[in-house]
Structure 1
Amino acid sequence: MYAVTGASGQLGRLVIEALLGRIEPGKIVALVRDPARVADLSARGVIVRAFDYDEAGTLAPALAGVERLLLISSSEVGKRVAQHAAVIEAAKTAGVSAIAYTSILRADSSPLGLAVEHRATEAAIRASGMPYALLRNGWYIENYTMSAAASIEHGAVIGSTGEGRISAAARRDYAEAAARVLTDAAMTSQVYELAGDESFTLADYAAALATASGRPVTYVNMSEAAYREALEGIGLPGPLAAILAESSATAAGGALFDDGHELSALIGRATTPLATVVRETLR
């Protein structure tokens, strides 16, 4: 059986859908904190099991019979290392034969603050002795389009990325890659650097919003500190605002750029263009 953690999340849901297009639902295990959130998957024949990263003692039983596990990184920045370590240990105890993990682009050398916990998790996976696949995902285009309506309303995209290029891809592209690796690949301790085929600047993104909406939208570059203050001003918690501002500023130096095209090679097609995701979001 093939199991996916965080199956009720945005990426997890898409991975489950991709798996359903490839294998029988009875071979898929959706691991979620609250099974009620994926009752629809259960109705379609997917096996649903409760799985809480913070309840270490309950994890191994939930992995009974699982051969391959996709560990989708926790959303709780600051708690990820301990949570992921608990899942890895549970996978070993349950006899899982291989583990895939959604890491971050060039985790071993990335200057992004978010990479620290990913590096620690990758190290724990290697130390486990299990065969693995490290899916080093670049940025999601949806990281930007989630605030598309506000950007169009105010006529501005804000950030501190300058002219740095971002090789983002649609979340569904990364999900398809994960499903393929989980079901097809040998998973003999391999690293995948995954990113979109076409890179763009935030000025390019603003232009895409303008084209799709028919309204003027420009990019306003700020210092990291000013961007953080702006994010806090719209209600984001201070720690989250600091992470986003640091990531944006670090991307100015190319931290989110990649031209290796491993993602499109893995999924067997070009990655979804920025303009397509923008149009779908506004639709």
Structure 2
Amino acid sequence: MSIAVTGAAGNLGQGVVESLLSRGVNEKIVAITRAPEKIKPLLQRGVEVRPGDFDDPASLVKAFAGVDRLLIISTGGDNPTRIRQHQTAALAAKEAGVGFIAYTSIANASHNTLGLAEVHRATENAIRQTGISFSFLRNNWYLENESGYIQAALAGAPIVTSAGNGKIGWALRTDYAQAAAAVLAGPGNDNTIYEFGGTLATYDDFAAALGQVLKKKVSVEHVDDETYGKSLAANGMPDFVVAFLVGSAHEISQGALDVAGSDLAKILGRPAVALPEALKQLVEQIKK
């Protein structure tokens, strides 16, 4: 038996591999990345490192050879590129004889209105079409996505957003990583869909929790989409990033991430790290 993780040189991938190691799984752990030199130290810990490039189908078939359980971590880039790469990975898994695929998706992927949700709907469909047993890990929102707001608050600036009172299920990347490792290593996860996320909260809740950590008031400026976009552009954000962030904030204001559920706590065997404690950890990391 072997468990493989793609994107193993990335932050989430490294977290999943570390979680598998800490669980003491009996299966061989295979770390797959297009930059194997970045994770060579894993070799000394008994992890097999294999090269694999989502733009090179043959390399993925080779990387997936002999793998029983596979985690496909979603790639970066524009939507068409990501969809193509994910479809390539799904087909390679089928050709290699993989028995189970877990995939890092997005909250409520079937109906989510965020622009990036298109990628995850297409990928879930591609994986279903392989006929391979699957588990879709529908991760809500990474708290690390808000590092810019944390840095702004540290500098005394307000949180500027057009997300309104939209609720978000923030959780730390480590919680998502540990949950993915648990699904890969544990039984009973065939053909499952998990809605992973922390306790639902708004940006006002976020600011209040961050204020507790920083021991000062953190204010929120609620603005419209146009004003939010202008503020991002004024801070040097490229046009495509501005469009993505404004679009995401708008959909969040309409409830795109307002997806409740207890799946993360159920799989972890404990509650997700609460927002104040999670923010405390991120603040400490940012200050280093």
After TM superposition, the score normalised by the length of structure 1 is: 0.95
Contact 2:149 2:159 in 1 (8 A): no
Counterpart in the other structure of 1:264: 265
Question: For structure 2, which runs of at least 5 residues remain unmatched after alignment?
Answer: none
Counterpart in the other structure of 2:159: 157
Q: Deviations over 1:14-43 (max 9, x none)?
A: 111110012358711111110111122122
1:231-250 counterparts in 2 under 5 A?
231-250=232-251
Whichever residue aligns with residue 34 of structure 2, its letter is R
Structure 2 counterpart SS, 1:117: helix
Q: Deviations over 1:207-252 (max 9, x none)?
A: 2222212333211112222222322332322212211211111111
Contact 2:108 2:259 in 1 (8 A): no
Structure 2 counterpart SS, 1:64: coil
Given candidates 174, 186, 189, the residue that maps to 2:176 is 174
Quote the RMSD (CA, aligned, Å). Answer: 1.6
Counterpart in the other structure of 2:185: 183
Counterpart in the other structure of 1:28: 29
Structure 2 counterpart SS, 1:48: strand
Whichever residue aligns with residue 19 of structure 1, its letter is L
Matched, 1:6 2:7: yes
Counterpart in the other structure of 2:112: 110
Counterpart in the other structure of 2:75: 74
Counterpart in the other structure of 1:60: 61
Contact 2:25 2:185 in 1 (8 A): no
Identity level (%): 40
Contact 1:166 1:256 in 2 (8 A): yes
Counterpart in the other structure of 2:146: 144
Return the alpha-carbon distance in structure 2 between the equivalents of residues 179 and 238 of structure 1: 36
Question: For structure 1, which runs of at least 5 residues remain unmatched after alignment?
Answer: none
> Could you list the runs of 4 or more consecutive aligned residues of structure 1 that deviate by over 3 angstroms after TM superposition?
23-26
Contact 2:31 2:50 in 1 (8 A): yes
Further displaced range: 21-30 or 183-192: 21-30
Quote how far apart the aligned CAs of 1:95 are. 0.7
| Structure 1 residues 141 and 216, CA gap change in structure 2 (3 angstroms) | same
Whichever residue aligns with residue 170 of structure 1, its letter is L
Counterpart in the other structure of 2:133: 131
Matched, 1:100 2:102: yes
Structure 2 counterpart SS, 1:187: coil
Whichever residue aligns with residue 241 of structure 1, its letter is V
Whichever residue aligns with residue 10 of structure 1, its letter is N
Counterpart in the other structure of 1:90: 92
Q: Deviations over 1:63-116 (max 9, x none)?
A: 111111000000223211100011111111111111110000000011111101
Further displaced range: 240-249 or 2-11: 240-249
Structure 2 counterpart SS, 1:21: helix
Equivalences, count: 282
After TM superposition, the score normalised by the length of structure 2 is: 0.93
| Structure 1 residues 222 and 25, CA gap change in structure 2 (3 angstroms) | farther
Quote how far apart the aligned CAs of 1:261 are. 1.2
